[in-house]
Amino acid sequence: MKSRSSLPSALALTQKVGVWLVKRLFSIAALFTMLTTSVVVSAPAQAATGPTGKSMEAARVIAAGDGVMIDEATLLNSGCGSKCDGKDPASFRIYYEQLPHNYYTCAEDAWTVDTAEDPLAGVELRYSSRCRTAWARTKTQGSFKVESRYLSGAHRITMTETAANWSWTAMVDDAGLLARACIHPEGPHDGWRCTRWY
């Protein structure tokens, strides 16, 4: 009789253990699913938007020679300086923070300082106040250039282009310096036509 009376309690105990075990297994399975989903969903998002990914993009552009990091105080005092010599004003990036979207190009705030024209050709001296750089731009055929000189009048650097290849020259530093744009038109005209020094 002892075995008969203990049978329901043993059965009840087995059922309780079984329910407890099933609950534990479900809890473990749910925890595992949650952790797996969290890793799969959040890991790529962190890699794409975290500061490391952003810094790497800016560093890649700078390493390729297509950008430079310059703090705002330096830009206010001296522009991008000789770091912008020979660079394309429309595509060279000036980063002010190591983030891929925190940059600008010198062409963004450029304005025309002066224009030199003759019957066949014209050239503009373009200037960026933020970068303190200058370059020449034209819409006509011929060789054109931007010249940079020191305040003493001594030649510093010249960037030359051909209108058939490009419609503007590379930049020259113009912080505490002077620059002018010149064009040598195709056809019967001889010599260079130049803007004023700026």
CB 36 within 8 A of CB 45: no
pLDDT at 52: 52
Unique residue bearing structure tokens 């290849």: 165
Averaged pLDDT, 54-58: 77
Q: What is the pLDDT of residue 104?
A: 93
Token readout for 27 is: 């809890």
Tokens of 114: 């002066």
Instruction: Give the CA distances from residue 76 to residues 58, 82, 191, in Å, rounded to whole numbers and listed in that order.
Output: 21, 15, 38
Residue type, 102: N
| Band of pLDDT at residue 163, cut at 50, 70 and 90 | confident
Q: What is the pLDDT of residues 4-54, one digit of tens each?
A: 444 455 544 455 545 444 444 444 443 343 333 333 333 333 333 444 555
Assess whether pLDDT exceeds 90 at residue 189: no
Contact indicator for 121, 138 with CB cutoff of 8 Å: yes
Interval 71-114: pLDDT, tens: 888 888 899 999 999 999 999 999 987 666 789 999 999 999 99
What are residue 87's phi and psi, to 5 degrees? -100, 155
User: Apex CA 184: angle with CA 180 and CA 189, to 5°?
Assistant: 130
| Alpha-carbon torsion angle 93, 134, 111, 180, nearest 10 | -170
Residues 145-167, mean pLDDT to the nearest whole number: 93
Question: Residue 108 has what DSSP assignment?
Answer: G
Across the chain, what does the average pLDDT equal? 78
pLDDT, mean of residues 104-133:
92
Determine the Cα angle at 119 with ends 113 and 125, to 5°.
Answer: 15
pLDDT, residue 29, reads: 43
Q: Which residues pair with residue 159 across a beta bridge?
A: 146
Query: Is the pLDDT score of 120 beyond 70?
Result: no
- Look up residue 124 and give its two tokens: 């503009």
